[in-house]
Amino acid sequence: MNNEKYATYRLEDFLDDDAFIKWVSGKEQDTHVAQFWSEFPSQYPSAAVNYEFAVSVIRTYRSQEVWENRDNKAHVLERITATIEANNNRRPALIRRMSTWVRAAAVVLIATVGGYLVYNKLGKPSRETIATGYGEKRTITLPDHSVVTLNASSSIAFSERWDTTSAREVWVDGEAFFDVKHLNSDTTNIRPGQRFLVHSNGLTIEVLGTSFNVRSRHGKTKVGLVTGKIQVGFTGAAAPKAMVMLPGDYIEYADNHLLLTKKINKPESIKRWTQVPLTFTDATLSEIIETLQDNYGYTVKVSEQSIKKLKIEGDINVANVEELLTVITTTLNVKIEQPSEKALVITSGK
């Protein structure tokens, strides 16, 4: 699908593109096509603005009331059945003898069992995307009741409906902590519907019932495992082989390379952000600046590069940015000025 024309795509071209429309309205079942569109802005940066605009216009339009009239579903079927019966058309006697609500239950059961038997792919995977703004955090329950905590300025996408025959799949941009519900404690015998896959910027995490953290920012993805077991696979031709991670394992990955693999002493610490607004362990000023920019939308300037290497030993757990700045200025030999609400200038010396 690599094509010159996309580089100069205008808003109208996007809205006119059947494949794009199909993807953005969640009807695309081909994962390769879906991947092409999700990676579009990085593949064709010149058309990224128009792409984003087209996506937001359509997503905006799509957030509308859905009227399913479920309360009357059984009742309307009953009326249909009665009318057909009155017209003397043949119908299996079994259904005719059933009481009203058994019949309603039968619809659900048939739909479910029928779906189970014949669905190879999801019937109609409406894609749900949840995004957080700066300074915002959200806890999301997935269709299988697994719980995801989404950090600020991050997004997660998944199909609205998960069936039991295909893998549970989610796509993460930014940082998220997963507590996955297992469907099978026997990890050597996992059926497709029990698989749980997390895709994030060039890697896929296969979950074997577990809790872990994934953070994908600036093209770099960091994965840390708290409990259970996961397998991490990497996409791309030159990518390394898949690896199995155990509790406390931590990796950093970017551009087809493993940058770092290490063991964390306190695996629990990587999920602390889910409970405390701002949390760091042995953090450098550089890491803190990154969080302020990524999660809170600050612009941070430093007087000289070297001060970014300054490190605050131990744990920081604070409720807000103001407290964090106080911690920095009291522990490090730096001065912080705030020329405007979302801008900081850090200089060395008091």
Applying CB under 8 A, the residues found at the interface with other proteins are 11-12, 15, 18, 21-22, 24-27, 48-49, 52-53, 56-58, 60-70, 72-73, 76-77, 79-80, 83-84, 87, 89-92, 95, 106-108, 110-111, 114-115, 118-121, 123-124, 133, 217-218, 289, 293-294, 297, 299-302, 305
Identify the CA nearest to 153 among candidates 133, 139, 138.
Answer: 133
Identify the CA nearest to 343 among candidates 295, 276, 296, 281.
Answer: 296
User: Measured from the CB atom, is 67 or 237 closer to other proteins?
Assistant: 67
Residues 12, 154, 287: CA angle, nearest 5 degrees: 125
Residue with tokens 């970014």: 308
For the CB of residue 59, give the shortest distance to other proteins in the complex, in Å. Answer: 8
Check: CB of residue 48 under 8 Å from CB of residue 6.
Answer: no
The strand order across the sheet containing 343-348 reads 299-302, 343-348, 334-340
How far is 59 from 24, CA to CA, in rounded Å?
8
For the CB of residue 52, give the shortest distance to other proteins in the complex, in Å. Answer: 5
User: Measured from the CB atom, is 90 or 241 closer to other proteins?
Assistant: 90
Check: CB of residue 147 under 8 Å from CB of residue 140.
Answer: yes
Identify the CA nearest to 335 among candidates 313, 304, 298.
Answer: 304
Number of CB atoms found within 10 A of residue 120's CB: 9
User: Measured from the CB atom, is 90 or 145 closer to other proteins?
Assistant: 90
Residue with tokens 């803190």: 288
Identify the CA nearest to 342 among candidates 300, 291, 285.
Answer: 300
Identify the CA nearest to 325 among candidates 336, 312, 339, 314.
Answer: 336
For the CB of residue 115, give the shortest distance to other proteins in the complex, in Å. Answer: 6
**Non-local CB neighbours of 340 within 8 Å, separated by 6+ positions:** none
User: Measured from the CB atom, is 20 or 171 closer to other proteins?
Assistant: 20
User: Measured from the CB atom, is 91 or 266 closer to other proteins?
Assistant: 91
User: Measured from the CB atom, is 35 or 187 closer to other proteins?
Assistant: 35
DSSP labels, 132-155: --TT--EEEE-TTS-EEEE-TT-E
User: Measured from the CB atom, is 79 or 191 closer to other proteins?
Assistant: 79
User: Measured from the CB atom, is 76 or 242 closer to other proteins?
Assistant: 76
Number of CB atoms found within 10 A of residue 52's CB: 13
For the CB of residue 91, give the shortest distance to other proteins in the complex, in Å. Answer: 5
User: Measured from the CB atom, is 4 or 65 closer to other proteins?
Assistant: 65
How far is 324 from 168, CA to CA, in rounded Å?
38
